[in-house]
Amino acid sequence: MRLVALIPAILALATPAVAYDRCHVPHDQRRPANELRADLAAKGWTVRKIEMEDGCYEVHGQDRTGLSVEVLFDPASFQERGRDD
């Protein structure tokens, strides 16, 4: 009985860890972060910081409504990929 209870734990340990990237864009196809900063500023955003997370640009700042946000953008298309609320 104990062996049956341990099987899920054993399988979880045997599964290789996989790094998941939300944005699958080769480095040479990424647009510069400064372009994203300018694009967002033109839309009324205030950008405090841009960094890479999960293969995406993560923007820390305020959107056009003044709401503090952390938003992930595709580094090639600048399409929004998700938000940290």
Residue 51 φ then ψ, to 5°: -140, 170
Question: CA separation (Å) from 65 to 8, 20, 68, 69, 76?
Answer: 47, 31, 9, 10, 25
Global pTM reads 0.73
H/E element, 38: helix 33-42
Q: How many Å apart are CA 65 and CA 44, to the nearest integer?
A: 8
Instruction: Provide the residue-wise pLDDT of the chain in tens; the chain has 85 residues.
Output: 565 554 555 544 444 444 456 799 999 999 999 999 999 999 999 999 999 998 999 999 999 999 999 999 999 999 999 987 5
